[in-house]
Chain A
Amino acid sequence: AQKVTQAQTEISVVEKEDVTLDCVYETRDTTYYLFWYKQPPSGELVFLIRRNSFDEQNEISGRYSWNFQKSTSSFNFTITASQVVDSAVYFCALEPSGNTPLVFGKGTRLSVIA
């Protein structure tokens, strides 16, 4: 079975704090992709990252960084020096191999307070 678990339903931080959003996935496929999306109040999904299962290198993009660990089936997302504009719902998703749709976690609502 394919499953994505985002245990944190809501997180609230003060501006400039660092925050990590957790994501744990389950799949029996050896080839798969992992994603993070941001969904602001407007609703449109904003693509953040796509990671192949064979690439375990951590990735950094500005204030964003991702830690992929196959040993623990986790793909965590860290925002450094958070800003109010980071307030949104963040979804972690899994795309199993083949022509399959994405499996989404339940999302984590992040509120950054000024």
Chain B
Amino acid sequence: GAVVSQHPSWVICKSGTSVKIECRSLDFQATTMFWYRQFPKQSLMLMATSNEGSKATYEQGVEKDKFLINHASLTLSTLTVTSAHPEDSSFYICSARDLDGGEQFFGPGTRLTVL
């Protein structure tokens, strides 16, 4: 089956630093990847849609200058949380849409803790 990986699986950082999270489709190509955020005991909320070779589309209320998304290839999208603060602590999950079949597959998530 299709596999999506995320790296790192967890990260702890100091307030004010930047953190980069990678989302890779391992055995398929994805022109579109989605980034979700999940706070404790809440559902997944879409942050942005990442399209290969073009600018990401952000959901209302998500600061594009704070959450930088780069989708440089058909297998990799990165989310950089710039100047992270404790309120950015969350579980970040990506999904990748298979170019051929159209199905979406989820990564295992990255747990970010900002001290």
Contacts and interface: CB of A to CB of B under 8 A. Distances in A.
Contacts of A44: 106, 108-109
A105 B49 CA distance: 19
- Interface-central residue, B36, B43, B109, B111, by most chain A CB under 10 Å: B43
Interface string A35-78: 00100000111010010000000000000000000000000000
A37 to B, nearest CB: 8
B42 A106 contact: yes
A95 B42 CA distance: 19
Interface residues of A, number: 15
Interface stretch (A11-19, A22-30, A96-104): A96-104
B95 A102 contact: yes
B43 A105 contact: yes
B67 to A, nearest CB: 15
A50 B42 CA distance: 22
B107 to A, nearest CB: 8
A102 B104 contact: yes
A101 B43 contact: no
B50 to A, nearest CB: 10
Which 8 residue pairs spanning A and B have beta carbons closest together? A44-B108, A101-B34, A106-B43, A45-B106, A104-B44, A104-B43, A43-B109, A101-B46
15 contacts: A43-B38, A44-B106, A47-B106, A50-B103, A91-B44, A99-B102, A101-B34, A101-B36, A101-B49, A102-B95, A104-B43, A105-B43, A106-B42, A106-B43, A107-B43
